[in-house]
């Protein structure tokens, strides 16, 4: 059985669709999960879609992906700008890592312009709302199949 693409989301994204729609869109994380699942299936892949508000839980899932995933998509949310521990975990992965953001952090406040996750990412998709996740899944599927 082929390994899934892990799609991980960080803190507060469980509340997506409830505030700041002008920045993050109106889709809920469940809407995005369905989009990713359909896109992955069309490309012959499956996904493991998870969200946590806890840094250690995200790190456990990243470590799990070392053996259980063919690629990893991560929207680290606020942790992207703060977490060296998540960066360290991502560096241990041999599979492609796609960083994904709903908004374009590079065009926002100065503190969002740097993300630790980028230092371990194969590529980055940002600024397309929920579509960023879909594009990131597509990129992960592509990289997994050319390996």
Q: Which residue, 71 or 105, is less far from ligand CA2 as judged by CB?
A: 105
Q: Helix or strand or coil: residue 90? A: helix
| CA 112/CA 131 separation, integer angstroms | 20
CB of 138 to ligand CA2, least distance (A): 17
CA 69 to chain centre: 13
Q: Which residue, 46 or 53, is less far from ligand CA2 as judged by CB?
A: 53
DSSP annotation of 7:
E
Strands 71-75 and 47-51: what pairing? unpaired
Q: Which residue, 45 or 101, is less far from ligand CA2 as judged by CB?
A: 101
Residues labelled catalytic: 24, 101
| CA 62/CA 94 separation, integer angstroms | 11
Residue 127 · residue 104 · CB < 8 Å: yes
CB of 52 to ligand CA2, least distance (A): 13
CB of 131 to ligand CA2, least distance (A): 12
DSSP annotation of 80:
G
Residues at the contact surface with ligand CA2, assessed by CB under 6 A: 12-13, 15-16, 18-20, 24, 75, 77-78, 101-103, 105, 112
């Amino acid at each position: 059985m082929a390994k899934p693409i892990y799609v991980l989301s960080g803190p507060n994204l469980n509340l997506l669709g409830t505030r700041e729609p002008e920045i993050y869109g109106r889709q809920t994380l469940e809407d995005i999960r369905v989009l990713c699942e359909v896109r992955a299936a069309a490309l012959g892949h499956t996904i493991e879609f998870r969200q946590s508000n806890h840094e250690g839980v995200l790190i456990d899932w990243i470590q799990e992906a070392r053996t259980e995933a063919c690629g990893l998509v991560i929207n680290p949310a606020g942790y992207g700008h703060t977490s060296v521990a998540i960066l360290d975990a991502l560096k241990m992965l041999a599979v492609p890592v796609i960083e994904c953001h709903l908004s374009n952090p590079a065009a926002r406040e100065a503190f969002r312009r740097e993300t630790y996750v980028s230092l371990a990412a194969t590529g980055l998709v940002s600024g397309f709302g929920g579509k960023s996740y879909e594009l990131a899944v597509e990129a992960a599927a592509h990289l997994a199949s050319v390996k």
